[in-house]
Structure 1
Amino acid sequence: MLINGKAAGACGGECFDVKNPATGELLEQVPRGTEDDIALAVEAAVSAFEGWASTSPQQRGMVFYRAAGVVRQRKEELATLLTQEQGKPLAEARNEIEGFAHVLEYYCGLAGSLRGDFIPVPGNGYAFTVKKPLGVCAAIIPWNMPALIMSWKIAPALISGNTFVLKPASSTPLTNLTLASVLNEAGLPAGVLNVITGSGETAGESLVRNPHVKKISFTGESGTGIRVAELAASGMKRVTLELGGSDPMIVCDDANLESAVAGAIRGRFYNCGQTCTAVKRLYVFESVAEEFISKLKAGVRNLKVGNGLDNNTDMGPLNNSHQMEYIKELVAEVKEKSEGRIITGGKIPSFKGSDKGYFFEPTLVSDVPEDSRLLKEEVFGPVLPIVKVKNLDEAIEEANRSSYGLGASVWTKDLDRARMGCEQLNAGIIWVNQHFKVAPEVPFGGIKGSGFGRENGPDVLSEYLETRTIMLKT
């Protein structure tokens, strides 16, 4: 834990193990934060608030700028740590660490845009609006993209003058703790950013309930998100919920099939399929389905599964035993109920050391019925269901059947088809001839069961500021 700029909570008390999901190796033991620990972290954030809020946005931005430089210098060290605790290949970990630095630099650039408005009011003089930070903000983040999602939460909050308490996932706290230390070394005052390790049931609930916390940003599973919203409502707290998705990818008959195949492979199997905006349902026009599936199968079979620390690894392990058992259960259900045909994959890979980690082959399943769990649930793992459709109308109808609404993509050379997809697909972000990329410059978030509120982009600053109106009559 990191409270008031210092490491806290030795493992003489209750702790939990952080293990490498590729090997089962114990990396470190981390304190299991209690309600008292949360109270201390929030108290530190409260004490630091006035000083940080009175610091100019440009000075706050310079802290980000210096920290981003250090993160880039230490990229290899940080990426290795991230791979060890999360499992993703080093190339993906490097990309995520670069992403963390880029988000800090982006909000550093927005520091000068924190301003209010001047409004003439005929007959009543003038009105001004000023923007004020909320106070102590908090976030609960998942294990799939711990560094990047940390930056999405803390950067807009801190640049706006708020202080912060972060609760990382129990299986991936080490990179978050190290990055918080980098920010402190770059000049972030003690108490402005605090990190509490612990379970959701204890540390998470205590954080949401704490009366001094004014805003909660949560990324994770839908049931937990609903619980967060319920607890926050009683304290009139602001809430942002990003609850995952079941993103559809639609491949039309005029699409560039090579590009679409590459997009499907990256979109589904990046980070072992453990990404909110991953391609989780694939709808392909019947007229090109055979050719597309053949190319897709060949590409997927070329993926090298292994320890993320090996340079030739394309896909690492699942992060934890729960995810492993879930994926095995889904694939077993396909086989037992004949709910689709496994084209490739569908089992634990066989290589030296594969029995020590949470490895599963990248898997393609065709002819999936509409009531399959593969299409109804958010499948957080390397299994891609494929459905053949007659046309775009049918594809959009099937895509919108999901209770989720995070992302979607349509692959076509026809502008009218692209426009139709953008207008009719029910999702918070829609890509055309691409999928998966989320830049810090654009708003990100979902609709329907994927939550509410937005992250990233300049507009997110309003989520961490309150507007006060001043009426002046001369």
Structure 2
Amino acid sequence: MSDDFKNNLELALGNAKRLSNKILIDGKLSPSKAKGKISVLNPSTGESIGEAPQCNKVDVNIAVDSAEAAFQKWKKIPARERGKIMSAAARKLEDRKNEIETLLALDTGNALRTQAIPETVASIELTHMFAGLAGEIKGENYPPNIPNTIHYTTKDPIGVVCAIIPWNAPLFLTVAKIAPAIVAGNTVVLKTAEQAPLCALLLCEILQQELPPGVLNVISGYGEECGEPLIDHPKVRKVTFTGSFSVGKIIAMKAAPKLCPVTLELGGKNPNIIMSDADLDIAIPGVIDGMRYTRQGQACTAGSRVYIHEKIYDKVLEGVVSKLSKLKMGNALDTKSDIGAIISDEQLKRTLHYMDIAKKTSSAKVLHGGNQPKGGDYKEGFFYEPTLLSGVPVESPVCQEEVFGPVACAIPFKNFDEVMRSANDTPFGLSAVLWTQNLSRALQFVDEIEAGFVQVNQCVAPRANVSYGGIKMSGLGKEYAFDSMMNHFTQSKTVLINRGKSNLDD
């Protein structure tokens, strides 16, 4: 164990111990009222690193009451001042960046160098961005069509926001929800993912040092015991959720009776299409980046359906396999690791389930990976090799359903029309990528593809100031940009004022 590895581990474990069994209510870390506990494991070793409270309706009510009380004061603070407070909070994040990124790696199993450090940087940048946009929260003036009337609209905060995040990118997704909501004048109750609750709690604890008590509250627990009463609470006036389609559908149904607006960022089964004229120097690395192999494929935008024109099919596969073989998998806190561990045993079993289907398919071939390493440096961690398959029928569940693990399928095609029909033949519509040097073909792809996040000749992850969200079964609404703050975290009044006639002499 190197000195850096040892120091990173000690720092992360120290914060995990300090935050264990805590929630954030009214500006303070405190135990929950519920007695149940959820064990939090280090995905890299399978060892316990702490516990998270198994919150229930009692904790939910306390958190919402705190947020509601804080909202009455927070909404009256001018938007520019709220932005300045959030900017100061973002600087606090910068000061403790090393603590945040090491706990993120420990909590999620995402490799420190390739994932946790970049995610922490991106989260701080996103916080700064929304803070800086505070002064742009404003309504509009309209030319009056009624004599002697002033006509304008306002942009006002909604109230208490319920934010529910997943475990795969907990810091960035926390900021994507709480920063625009708070800057817009709302208060928040955040429910963390039970698999990785500690890093989000640390981030919120640091932010809360600058925010008034109750503006940001954090609870943990399971969906039925904690998430459901939070969504149902009559004082919650907005729900924002990132996670699976099945849970997102339930959330939409739960919020519907009180006509509570909902933002949903759900799953995807995303096509990554390589045309015969593609620049392979960027397309081949783009398969690996696009599949998010260095996040173990645990990304909504993972390009897990890799369509390759038959003329270059073998050449692309050879290049991808060569690059995959050079990636190092290991403990997330080891800076030598390119790839970390899958989040949990449950999620690992999901990957094994789909791999079992693939391996039982006579036409399928494992081009790279396909194994679960155990023992030695891997200990009891939840590791699975980055895997590339060929010969899997497009109608197979492996090609149709979101694995959310490090498994991609290579699919040959003959022409553009054929591949577009196949790419769009899915209930999902989150992201899509095309590699070509033909501008006309690229623009045709943009017109015809059924996805909310479309890229040509690159496959970067969503980031600050890039409006991001899906269509079809992949969600409702966009995030990460100014329009998300205005559209999702404000409500509008239309105002007409009859100014009357002046009593002064002409």
Q: Is TM > 0.5 for Structure 1 vs Structure 2?
A: yes
Q: What amino acid sits opposite 1:208 in the alignment?
A: I
Q: What amino acid sits opposite 1:69 in the alignment?
A: R
Counterparts of 1:64-143 in structure 2 under 5 Å? Answer: 64-91=86-113, 92-124=115-147, 125-143=149-167
1:267 match: 290
2:66 match: 44
Counterparts of 1:52-451 in structure 2 under 5 Å? Answer: 52-91=74-113, 92-124=115-147, 125-185=149-209, 187-268=210-291, 269-349=293-373, 352-451=376-475
C-alpha distance in structure 2 between counterparts of 1:23 and 1:289, whole Å: 38
Is the partner of 1:132 in helix, strand or coil? strand
Cα offset, 1:266, TM superposition = 1.6
- Verify the 8 A CA contact 1:11 1:29 in the aligned structure 2: no
Is the partner of 2:128 in helix, strand or coil? helix
* Mapped pair 1:468 → 2:493: yes
**RMSD value over aligned CA atoms?**
1.3
TM-score, normalising length from structure 2? 0.92
C-alpha distance in structure 2 between counterparts of 1:382 and 1:12, whole Å: 36
C-alpha distance in structure 2 between counterparts of 1:457 and 1:242, whole Å: 14
Is the partner of 1:318 in helix, strand or coil? coil
C-alpha distance in structure 1 between counterparts of 2:433 and 2:228, whole Å: 36
Q: What amino acid sits opposite 1:265 in the alignment?
A: I
C-alpha distance in structure 1 between counterparts of 2:463 and 2:321, whole Å: 29
- Larger C-alpha radius of gyration, 1 or 2? 2
Cα offset, 1:236, TM superposition = 1.0
Q: What amino acid sits opposite 1:112 in the alignment?
A: G
C-alpha distance in structure 2 between counterparts of 1:225 and 1:350, whole Å: 34
TM-score, normalising length from structure 1? 0.98
Runs of 4+ in structure 1 off by over 4 angstroms are none
C-alpha distance in structure 2 between counterparts of 1:141 and 1:430, whole Å: 23
- Verify the 8 A CA contact 1:137 1:165 in the aligned structure 2: yes
* Residue range with higher mean Cα deviation, 33-42 or 6-15: 6-15
Is the partner of 2:459 in helix, strand or coil? coil
C-alpha distance in structure 2 between counterparts of 1:465 and 1:333, whole Å: 46
* Residue range with higher mean Cα deviation, 136-145 or 325-334: 325-334
2:44 match: 22
Deviations 1:4-37 (A, max 9, x none): 1112225982111111011112111121101010
Structure 1: 5+ residue stretches without partners: none
C-alpha distance in structure 2 between counterparts of 1:39 and 1:10, whole Å: 12
2:27 match: 5
Is the partner of 2:446 in helix, strand or coil? helix
C-alpha distance in structure 1 between counterparts of 2:335 and 2:155, whole Å: 48
2:503 match: none
- Verify the 8 A CA contact 1:41 1:165 in the aligned structure 2: yes
- Verify the 8 A CA contact 1:11 1:30 in the aligned structure 2: no
Q: What amino acid sits opposite 1:271 in the alignment?
A: R
How many equivalent pairs are there?
Answer: 473
* Residue range with higher mean Cα deviation, 259-268 or 421-430: 259-268
Is the partner of 1:63 in helix, strand or coil? helix
Cα offset, 1:358, TM superposition = 0.5
* Residue range with higher mean Cα deviation, 432-441 or 78-87: 432-441
- Verify the 8 A CA contact 1:63 1:183 in the aligned structure 2: no
- Verify the 8 A CA contact 1:71 1:182 in the aligned structure 2: yes
- Verify the 8 A CA contact 1:83 1:308 in the aligned structure 2: yes
* Residue range with higher mean Cα deviation, 123-132 or 410-419: 123-132
Cα offset, 1:330, TM superposition = 1.1
Deviations 1:329-379 (A, max 9, x none): 111111112252111110113562324111001111012211111211012
Deviations 1:102-150 (A, max 9, x none): 1111011111101111112223422111111001011111000000000
